[in-house]
């Protein structure tokens, strides 16, 4: 497994310190390599803690598209990625790595959110689309890989674990209603035990633009 974190601010710049703290919190998930990337205006930061399994030499993340307009962070595994890679290459796509993660980047470039129709596996990923200033995040159909998020007045943050959101500066507090629901086994699928923090439901995706989440 790996760990991912994305911070998308409406106005303020994402600080290296807050992103680094979030990545550090994910090191147990990805002890082999930790990296980060910032958009030119610094309002978007992506971080990745990697457990190296596929493509040990060139598979570090975030991964950029060939034109540098898209960046992806991914936790999990895409099945049958070698066949999909060959099909994408036959349509003119040029890959930077041999990682299964990169297929989602190229499929998204071709078809946007419909890329999910061609992806099978256990995964959670975030793509930043710089040209359209859009963040796209998705989770596998069975919810095998986690993806937590919180929306505040400042913007949107997502991560593989709630503790990384806390490390980045999100206030840690119990959601008393969620705790009550959990005690009586009636827990809403997208709720967590923490105030303001949700988890993306299995088989769902979200799209975020500046001050807009849907």
Tell me the mean pLDDT in the region 8-28.
Answer: 97
Q: Name all domains of the chain by residue range, CATH numbers in brackets.
A: 3-213 (3.60.20.10)
Predicted local distance difference test score (pLDDT) of residue 56: 75
Predicted local distance difference test score (pLDDT) of residue 175: 75
Predicted local distance difference test score (pLDDT) of residue 176: 62
Structure confidence by residue, pLDDT tens digits, 30-65: 999 999 999 999 999 999 999 988 777 778 999 999
Tell me the mean pLDDT in the region 202-207.
Answer: 96
Give the pTM.
0.93
Structure confidence by residue, pLDDT tens digits, 139-198: 999 999 999 999 998 999 999 999 999 999 999 888 767 665 666 665 666 878 888 999
CB-based contacts of 146, cutoff 8 Å, min separation 6: 124, 139, 160, 161, 199
Tell me the mean pLDDT in the region 94-115.
Answer: 95
User: Looking at the annotation, which residues are catalytic?
Assistant: 2
């Amino acid at each position: 497994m790996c760990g991912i974190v994305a911070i998308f601010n409406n106005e303020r710049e994402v600080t290296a310190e807050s992103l680094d703290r979030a990545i550090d919190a994910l090191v147990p998930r990805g002890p082999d390599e930790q990296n980060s990337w910032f958009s030119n205006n610094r309002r978007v930061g992506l971080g990745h803690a990697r457990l190296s399994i596929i493509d040990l030499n060139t598979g570090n993340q975030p991964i950029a598209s060939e034109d540098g307009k898209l960046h992806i962070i991914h936790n999990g595994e895409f099945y049958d990625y070698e066949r999909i890679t060959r099909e994408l290459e036959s349509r003119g796509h040029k890959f930077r790595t041999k990682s299964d993660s990169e297929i989602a980047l190229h499929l998204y470039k071709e078809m946007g959110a419909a890329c999910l129709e061609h992806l099978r596996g256990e995964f959670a990923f975030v793509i930043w689309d710089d040209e359209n200033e859009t963040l796209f995040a998705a989770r596998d159909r069975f919810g095998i890989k986690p993806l937590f998020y919180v929306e505040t007045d400042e913007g949107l943050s997502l991560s593989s674990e709630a503790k990384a959101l806390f490390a980045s500066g999100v206030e840690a507090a119990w959601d008393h209603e969620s705790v009550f629901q959990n005690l009586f086994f009636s827990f809403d699928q997208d709720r967590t035990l923490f105030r303001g923090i949700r988890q993306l439901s299995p088989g769902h995706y979200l799209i975020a633009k500046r001050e807009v989440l849907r």
